[in-house]
Structure 1
Amino acid sequence: MAAAPRARRTVFARLSLPERNFVVDALRTETVGGVLLLLAAVAALIWANTPLQDSYESVRHWHVGPDSLGLHLSVQHWAADGLLAVFFFVAGVELKRELVAGDLRDPKAAMLPVAAALCGMAAPALVYLLVNTLGDGSKAGWAVPTATDIAFALAVLAVIGTSLPSALRAFLLTLAVVDDLFAILIIAVFFTSDLNFAALGGAVLGLVVFWVLLRREVRGWYVYLPLALVIWGLMYNSGVHATIAGVAMGLMLRCSRREGEEKSPGEHIEHRVRPLSAGLAVPLFALFSAGVAVSGGVLADVFTQPETLGVVLGLVVGKTLGIFGGTWLTARFTRAELGNELAWPDVFAVATLAGIGFTVSLLIGELAFTEDPALTEEVKAAVLVGSLAAAVLASVLLKLRDARYRRMYEEEERDEDLDGIPDIYEVGDPAYHLRMAELLEKKAAEHRRLAQVAGGGSAEDGRPA
């Protein structure tokens, strides 16, 4: 007797209701933050390309902070090392939640975004290395085009107004979370300067205290905030990039819900801190990092120098082919198929959108070429050009499918019984059909009443007046 054929697994299927609600809430904040990020980047470019350019340089290179603690830093460094620690803290909480309650808790479900993220980081690095090997350029910037900026990507979605289905939005969010994890590992491993083991030991000890307090369920921001600042300061002085402290503390939070909890502590803190990250920390980083003096010569250099050309091609070509190829190969070898009326061009468009590598790419660009300020500014210009090109290309591809996305989105959001739960999640619920029958009866009665009034009859008894 022949064995029954194995059922094909569906990828990009409809999300569960709790996961859908989490994604909607998270992306709403990220979208607002992304718009602020865009505005900050534009403001930085205007500030750096007007007669006020000298004031821009003066502000971002102005030093402040206690020199005795090794924290007499420029405003630009405070933004990159301090404010981005908040961003990476939120990334750590997101990753922890995905591991214990989200898509990454199921190895089969996690395979797709993890493979896509890995290929989406390896391909841009290979493109960069290939361009710089052929062009005899510096290979130090191989990691610059490997990151995805989820806030910037969602801001593009908000601007072009596409109704991207929640399954693709969730994939983009999960992909960015995994992407952030590997970006953090790259920073920790490849961009760590000479280690100060005393400071590093102090930071590790602080993290242990942080973990013990969490396990003992000690409450109070006035306990954790000073401790977090001490850990951050020690991490900065250790030679390890200070943002690692943020992600480490985020990973320690409990993100699994106990009986009677509406939100876990991690979800609760993330809900409080995410607006600070998306609405203040990341836009301020962009304001003091994205201000590149743009001229015809600089733009020409972007496409003629191997370092800058490698960044642009890495973001636009490498990121797209890496994510799409990783997704297609994973689905091919796991015998999975697309769901929700989606097609592979939709995945390709989202992969193109992931080529927007603004925030972390700018950070890595600063770390990779610290010894060459001129090249640092040119690489920043390349990040801006590559991200803009990816945004425009993704906008065109997504617009081509916008009518289909809008129908799918409206179907997902329809709530005719007005109970706050989309109808698509209640189709098999008898109570839902009872509510719909009552709603239809009320509508029919209202139509009869209006018809009687229009015909001159009595609305009370239905007899002619």
Structure 2
Amino acid sequence: MNTSPVNSTPRRLFPRGPWRRARRVADVLRTETIGGVLLVTAAAVALLLANSPWREAYTALAGFRIGPAALHLDLSLATWAADGLLAVFFFVVGLELKREFLAGDLRNPRTALLPVAAAVGGMAVPALVYVAINLANPGALVGWAIPTATDIAFALAVLAVIGAHLPTALRTFLLILAVVDDLLAITIIAVFYTDQLSVPALLGSLVPLALFTLAVQRGIRSWWVLLPLAALTWVLVHSSGVHATVAGVLLGFAVPVLGRRRVQGVSLSEHFEHRWRPLSAGFAVPVFAFFAAGVTVVGGDGGGIGAALADTVAVGIVAGLVLGKTAGVLGATWLVQRCTRAELSDDLSWWDLLGLAQLAGIGFTVSLLVGELSFGAGTPQDDHVKIGVLGGSLLAALLAAVVLRARNAHYRRIEEIETRDDDHDGVPDVFQEDDGARRDD
């Protein structure tokens, strides 16, 4: 008869996790928070210019074309920002996705279930809300994916103001949810927003991509080798009709996460992520926001706020971001909790998850990109998309602020526990206790 003790400790949702992960998440969020501040600043400047006497100069700057016409790359600055600079953003996303799936939280199905389910719910429900509102307007249904994205940089900028003391477990969950969200978003862009496909160009892009993969697998880091191969991959993917940002994700996937080839003690993937994340968060995304967020809120070609509020496109986006995201993320989390019979961590409640779900309704960068792909840049519907995305994101941020600020005193107490280091060894005591408990189990 087996008399061995049975571990009756219930499974916990949102565990604190090991110190190494918490430290890495803190480093990533610090960079993204700074980038989020720059993103919000760039969007605000764009709005001011678009509604000022310098509106025509701003429009002319966004439409200024540059690039070799022979390669069909005589693009406007706004298009270069959307197709070119965002490829850098998605390159970092590709690096992060591969690392999470091979060496991070998404490697283990038990820990991956919750953020993946929340990301799927947070994309499916907003899309359904948008479609339901636009059923009587078939021409608007092409924009169903606009309210499905979460902008982690914008969300973290808001979080830095309203909830700087958010517990490590919730910050980690938000980051992983955003990573999975980005994967789903780039899949949607590649599958549903490719109108004309040039198979020869797409197949041709595999050649420089394969050479880039071979080079990084051999540990080559020389920019004069890798950048030309990456640029050629981007050009061919752009020529194929697939959105060029997909090239960034594919290049990120090519960089090895595991293996013996390391740079200063870290993998080549982490090395590239440390190098390129500041460029992505501090330059690429803010520049895109500067060109994408400029919309005339009074008058203009799209009729301003009045016309947008009368358009089911903008109404569907706002409802999708504010209501759909909250219901999707919170509902999926509840389903996982019910199906796995797991319990929330002792220091968290469903009010915390409500605030986090509302924060996920901040959909800016990718939402604006999908809006342009759906209706075309410069169209009246595109103006309504911008107003809907900006309005929905701001409303979601305000609602999250109400909930999270109400819990801020509680978060401060958790932060004191998570940062206390009585033995001054650089590792907070609570993480050492958690690691010891895991080893005992």
- The bucket for the TM-score relative to the shorter chain is over 0.9
1:413 aligns with 2:415: no
8 Å CA contact 2:122–2:329 kept in 1: the answer is yes
Candidates 272, 277, 285, aligned match of 1:274: 277
Cα offset, 1:2, TM superposition: 12
Write the deviation string for residues 241-281 of structure 1: whole angstroms up to 9, x where unpaired: 00000001111111236498631110111011000000000
1:290 counterpart (280, 293, 300): 293
- One-letter code aligned to 2:44: V
Pairing partner for 1:104 from 92, 106, 109:
106
- Change beyond 3 A, Cα 1:145–1:275: same
Q: 1:244 aligned to 2:231? A: no
Change (3 A) 1:36 1:108: same
Look up the equivalent residue of 2:17 and give its one-letter code.
L
Q: Per-residue displacement from partner, 1:318-352 (whole Å, max 9, x unpaired)?
A: 01100010011011101111115100110111010
**Correspondence for 1:82:** 84
In the TM superposition, residue 205 of structure 1 has moved relative to its aligned partner by 1.6
Among 321, 328, 334, the residue aligned to 2:340: 334
Cα deviation 1:384-429 (Å, max 9, x = unaligned):
0000000110011100100001110121011233221112123489
The partner residue of 1:384 within 390, 404, 418 is: 390
Task: Indicate conservation of the 8 Å contact 2:18/2:435, yes or no.
Answer: no
- Cα distance change on mapping 1:419 and 1:212 into 2, 3 Å: same
Which residue type is aligned with residue 170 of structure 1? T
2:211 matched to 1:209? yes
The reply to whether residue 48 of structure 1 matches residue 50 of structure 2 is: yes
Per-residue CA deviation, residues 108-161 of structure 1 (Å, 9 max, x unaligned), is 110100110001000000000000115666211100000000000000011224
Please give the alpha-carbon distance, in whole angstroms, between the structure 2 residues aligned to 1:2 and 1:417.
41
Q: Counterpart of 1:426? A: 432
Of 39-48 and 302-311, more deviation after overlay is shown by 302-311
Taking the aligned partners of 2:172 and 2:50, their CA distance within structure 1 comes to: 36
More moved, 190-199 vs 23-32: 190-199
TM-score, with structure 1 as normaliser: 0.89
Q: Which residue of 1 aligns with 2:363?
A: 357
1:300 to 303, 306, 311: 306
Structure 1, unaligned stretches of length 5 or more? 431-465
After superposition, the C-alpha distances for 1:7-32 in whole angstroms (9 at most, x for unaligned) are 42111111211111110000000000
Aligned position for 1:434:
none
Q: CA RMSD in A?
A: 2.0
For residues 362-386 of structure 1, the C-alpha deviation after alignment (integer angstroms, 9 at most, x for no partner) is 0000000028711111111110000
CA distance in structure 1 between the partners assigned to 2:434 and 2:340 by the alignment? 29
Q: Which moved more, 1:61-70 or 1:367-376?
A: 367-376
CA distance in 2, matches of 1:183, 1:137: 21
Is contact 1:137–1:307 with CA below 8 Å preserved after alignment? no
Distance 1:16 1:314 in 2: 35
Q: C-alpha separation between the residues in 1 aligned to 2:68 and 2:378?
A: 27
Contact persistence 1:12–1:167 (CA under 8 A): yes
Structure 2: distance between partners of 1:83 and 1:386? 25
SS in 1 for 2:135: helix
Give secondary structure in 2 for the equivalent of 1:15: coil
- Report the equivalent of 2:439: none
